[in-house]
């Protein structure tokens, strides 16, 4: 199976935008912590998070098709290198015709963590204490303010929590704790 180090190397080779990399680290941390809570394979969940947007910087118009193609090619050369559950979760982490239907726990958790992780980072950027000063109540309040972090799809945030069986507050708290754990990487 692909290692974390190999996945991180793939990201370094494909992603030049530091903010996109930080986003991928943020989603990976949220997924890794959920995997531990749920008794799932934390390496698989982390690697899914770290690779989920690896093609977005260069191919936003076809994302995630390019990274899916590359992961499938790796499996053609080395069968089983990238578990199918990683590929499927990445293929389904958005809405619209170019995304696969979400079925597994990993599929649903990746979708749930993707937009929210970015939103919590945005909240921290306007807080004088950065991530340390972010409160659950301030995140929920800012979600209602459509002028704040306009690029974050609120519908995805709300839709994402249903299949994982968490309240919005529980999900925010989990992701916030995960981001605090890697705040040095995120420079927050």
Model pLDDT, residue 140: 97
Mean pLDDT, range 41-68, rounded to an integer: 98
Q: CATH number, domain at 131?
A: 1.10.3210
Model pLDDT, residue 181: 98
The answer for 10, left when phi > 0, alpha when psi is -120 to 50, beta otherwise, is alpha
Which pLDDT tens digit goes with each residue over 112-136? Answer: 999 999 999 999 999 999 999 999 9
Read out DSSP for the chain? ---HHHHHHHHHHH---HHHHHHHHHHHHHHHHHHHHHT--HHHHHHHHHHTTTTTTT-TTTTTHHHHHHHHHHHHHSTTSS-HHHHHHHHTSS-STTSPPP-SHHHHHHHHHHHHHHHHHHHHHTSTTGGGG--HHHHHHHHH-TTSSTTS-HHHHHHHHHHHT--HHHHHHHHHHHHHHTHHHHT-
Model pLDDT, residue 3: 98
Mean pLDDT, range 95-108, rounded to an integer: 96
Name the pTM for this structure: 0.97
Number of domains in the chain: 1
* Per-residue confidence band for 6, with pLDDT thresholds at 50, 70 and 90: very high
Model pLDDT, residue 23: 98
* Per-residue confidence band for 27, with pLDDT thresholds at 50, 70 and 90: very high
- Residue 41 sits in which domain range? 4-186
Model pLDDT, residue 182: 98
């Amino acid at each position: 199976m692909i290692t974390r180090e190999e996945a991180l190397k793939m990201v370094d080779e494909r992603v030049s935008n530091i903010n996109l990399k930080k986003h991928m680290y943020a989603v990976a941390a949220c997924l890794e912590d959920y995997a531990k809570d749920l008794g799932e394979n934390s390496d698989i969940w982390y690697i899914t998070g770290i690779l989920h947007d690896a093609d977005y910087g260069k191919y936003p118009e076809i994302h995630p098709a390019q990274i899916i193609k590359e992961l499938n090619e790796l499996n053609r050369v080395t069968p089983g290198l990238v578990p199918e559950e990683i590929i499927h979760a990445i293929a389904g982490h958005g809405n619209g015709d170019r995304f696969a239907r979400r079925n597994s726990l990993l599929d649903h958790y990746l979708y749930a963590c993707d937009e929210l992780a970015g939103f919590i980072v945005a909240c921290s950027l306007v807080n004088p204490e950065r991530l340390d000063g972010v409160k659950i109540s301030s995140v929920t309040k800012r979600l209602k303010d459509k002028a704040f972090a306009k690029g974050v799809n609120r519908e995805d945030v709300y839709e994402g929590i249903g299949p994982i069986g968490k309240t919005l507050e529980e999900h925010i708290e989990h992701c916030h704790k995960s981001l605090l754990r890697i705040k040095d990487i995120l420079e927050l």
